[in-house]
Structure 1
């Protein structure tokens, strides 16, 4: 499906500021404005409340009253609305949307945020997922992937009842180190002007848990439909865009839902 998007959405998906891209580190420019983030509600274990099979990705709806992001040269306060995943076909295959110096990871997770004071502005926080040879680790990802069997078919969704926070899903990531560029959504209509933040440190997840994404969920409503694999868009041209990175790191600030099903959906 990803290969034909420029054809089926020619006007919108053939722009000059499309995502994802290969981040070439020798071309990165420093930007002193790329300071640390403040994450509110990311340590709250009740903010991830619903997980759904959309037929082209797995998405988790977030409690928008509690989860917020600011700093990092973003335009004021942003509300975290959802997270979703991109993967290939098992932990041994590339599945991330972005690459760094040509290197891609088995998976990539995006946290989608909408600006409070800037109409229609979206910002995505991207995290690479690196495979390890452990089993069932980290525990947070074992809990998360335990829900995949309950949403095996497109349209299935369940409430998350096991306590898990966003911070739990991002272990070992130094969130003061990241890349920044302006790109787009990666599904039609491929809206441009999205602020992309790609963190340098990967999340380390065991192979058995990564493999569950490509062996458990299906693209249609029937369990006989194809498994959901290769849920990523190919690398797009840079077209003279500049990728920036912070000059120095600083200490992160992080603050510490009942299940209901009113969700806002975007996919980066």
Structure 2
């Protein structure tokens, strides 16, 4: 990498075990982020290159990526889109573009959060901690056989298995690579097959700030879910579209 800065400071909770990759090409902004996160006891690596970030992520188990949209070699959107093909690690976009369109595009691609410049280092640190905490059971899990068994839900007659503790959904025995929003959407549909959910209801179930998104974001995530399900069973389309109403999980297979 261009440079790697790591520091482990004593702190409470799991944050001392967390490792974050900062992808930012502006040195002053990058240094501010690195300092803020290291002060929270988080180990930080950084790079100014999108391509190098993708290479680094393949070899390191990061708990979160802070990703600038305007990188010199490739768009942060493209980095996230490529990453989401194989990796569900949380992504926080960092950008000077504050328009609603950019925000929605980022969320549609699979980002978990969005921070605009100028930003408060304290706010960014809080969002990083919140996202790591939200997925910590999935990324740093140790064996808990009883709890894992209790957390798994397999609706009668459906080939899904949901592990809420670890944020994992299995489909025909295969673990799906899902973003946080995709996991929530699919879990809602699977747990009540046959029930038709409006886009507004799905947004309320999956997004922390549903009013900040657009309903077409749901359509994009459903499209992504369908592609991932068909990659396992091309002959089955379990998610049904109800024109003018919303979506449901097929009740009878």
The bucket for the TM-score relative to the shorter chain is under 0.3
Larger Rg: 2
Question: TM-score, normalised on structure 1?
Answer: 0.25
* More strand per residue: 1
Of structures 1 and 2, the one scoring higher in RCO (CA 8 A, sep 6+) is 1
* More helix per residue: 2
Question: TM-score, normalised on structure 2?
Answer: 0.26
